[in-house]
Amino acid sequence: MANHNPKIEAILTAIITPVDTEDQFNETAFREQVERQISAGNGIFCGGTNGEFFALTEAEKRRVAEVTMEQVAGRVPVVGHVGEVSTAECVRAGRFIAGLGVDAVAAITPWFVPLSQEDLHYHFSTIADALEVPVYLYNIPARTGNTIAPETARRLAAHPNIAGIKDSAGTYESLTGFISVAREIDGFAVFNGPDSLIHQGFVDGCAGAVSGLANVAPREINSIWTRFKAGDVEGSRKQQETVTSLRETLYKVCFAPAAVKRAVRLLGYDVGDSKYPVRIGAAQETQMREILAAHDISR
């Protein structure tokens, strides 16, 4: 069996990156969002898709991680995303982020260039060889064009420094493929990405979930986990139904990370606009306000 580090078990919020009117990282607003998540019982996944890592400079990515660690101060688990297109850049980012004291790092599959399963095995093995902090694979094929196959995850799970996978493929079939690996290899953890599958993931053996929607509904998302952990499986399932409804309606308005960030702003937090050119009009804002009210989501 692989000699993995103790696995994290929690809801981790894929936290947004607030910006000011000049489109620069807003540290004060970010600290407020970190506190909001901690108050709800959630850990932090910083620099991920909802953190708009692909639109941040290297300096911004580093500062986001630094401020996260300063604000969290050991109170909840922190996973720092270090995914880049090249293996060497992932290692360089990983060494910096690991040096801040994060509990683990995660790396998205490289994008733009189609990669074979052997390429992906080399990429993640090289990252894990170079770092002393636990490494999570991050599978999100709709955004990168590259998919980690369950068999590749099984091979990588044998590495003593690869602790698990965050699966954001969006299907139950994909999730169960990785859960089967976790059942075979002690210490390999699966984190569910889609907010619609959080409860079912726990039923099937996921260690946790990385939730973008938790930026909007931190208590509601956390409740799926806490109810399940307390043995209230039916209560967890019912809470999931509410969250799934919120997700389905909100994400129809516009691209999910942009919708999440604007929804947080509509709740009264000064988080600014998206870093990418998704423009949200007054009619869409009205839709969002109605969706938040219908699901009883408030500040």
Give DSSP secondary structure letters for 38-74: HHHT-EEEESSTTTTGGGS-HHHHHHHHHHHHHHHTT
104-152 per-position pLDDT tens digit: 999 999 999 999 999 999 999 999 999 999 999 999 999 999 999 999 9
The pLDDT, as a whole number, for residue 278 is: 86
For 136: left if phi > 0, alpha if psi spans -120 to 50, otherwise beta; the answer is beta
271-280 per-position pLDDT tens digit: 999 998 888 9
Specify the length of the chain in residues.
Answer: 299
Q: 11-239 adopts what CATH topology?
A: TIM Barrel (3.20.20)
User: What 8-state DSSP symbol labels residue 79?
Assistant: E
Nearest to 202 by CA among 218, 213, 190: 190
pLDDT at 6 over 70: no
Domain map (residue ranges) of the chain = 11-239
Burial string for 53-68 (b: 16+ CB within 10 Å, else e) reads: bbebeeebbbbbbebb
Q: In the annotation, is 166 catalytic? A: yes
Tokens of 171: 């299907």
The stretch 243-264 carries a mean pLDDT of 96
The stretch 83-109 carries a mean pLDDT of 97
CB-CB contact of 224 with 239 (8 Å) = yes
Q: Which runs of E-coded beta strand occur in the chain? A: 11-14, 43-46, 78-81, 104-108, 135-139, 162-167, 189-192, 208-211
CB-CB contact of 163 with 134 (8 Å) = yes
For residue 75, how many other CB atoms are within 10 A of its CB? 12
Residues pairing with 137 in the sheet:
107, 165
Cα–Cα distances in Å, from 260 out to 8, 102, 217, 267? Answer: 25, 25, 10, 11
Q: What is the mean pLDDT of the chain?
A: 95
Indicate which residue of 136, 138, 251, 269 is catalytic: 138
The stretch 49-61 carries a mean pLDDT of 95
Indicate which residue of 166, 251, 269, 275 is catalytic: 166
Angle separating helix axes 282-294 and 233-250, nearest 10 degrees: 170
